[in-house]
Amino acid sequence: MDVEKQNSREEFLKDYDKESQLCEIAPQSSKKSPREIKSLLLKFLFFFFALLIVLLIAGARTADKFRGLSEEEAAAAEVVTPVLKEIVETDEFVFVEQTSNDDMRKKNTIGDNIIGRWEEISSTGVSEYIDAEGGGVFYKMFAKKMKADVEYKLTKPNVYEATFYLSFAPPMKFPMRFDQPYQYKSPAGSKVQSVAEYRKMLDDIFVNTKGSNEGPTTTNIQIIDSKLHFTSTILDKNVTCTRVYTKKTSDV
- Is residue 214 situated within a structural domain? yes
- C-alpha separations of 225 from 53, 113, 205, 215, 244 in Å: 85, 12, 16, 32, 11
What local confidence, expressed as pLDDT, does residue 27 receive? 45
Query: Is residue 118 within a helix (H) or strand (E), and if so which, with residue range?
Result: strand 116-124
Whether 5 is in a domain gets the answer no
Residue 43 inside a domain? The answer is no
Residue 154: CATH number of its domain = 2.40.128.20
pLDDT of residue 190: 85
What is the pTM assigned to this prediction? Answer: 0.56
Residue 102: per-residue pLDDT: 41
Cα Rg, the chain, nearest whole Å: 52
Evaluate whether 205 touches 213 at the Cβ level (below 8 Å).
Answer: no
Q: How far is CA 217 from CA 40, 80, 210, 230, 233, in A?
A: 104, 70, 7, 13, 5
Q: Is residue 118 part of a domain?
A: yes
How much is the pLDDT for 221?
98
Below-70 pLDDT ranges, the chain: 1-32, 54, 60-107, 250-252
Q: How many domains does the chain have?
A: 1
Residue 8: predicted pLDDT: 61
Within the chain, where are the H helices?
2-30, 34-105, 110-113, 126-133, 137-145
- The reply to whether 152 falls in a domain is yes
The gap between the terminal CA atoms of the chain, to the nearest Å, is: 159
Range of the domain at 225: 110-247
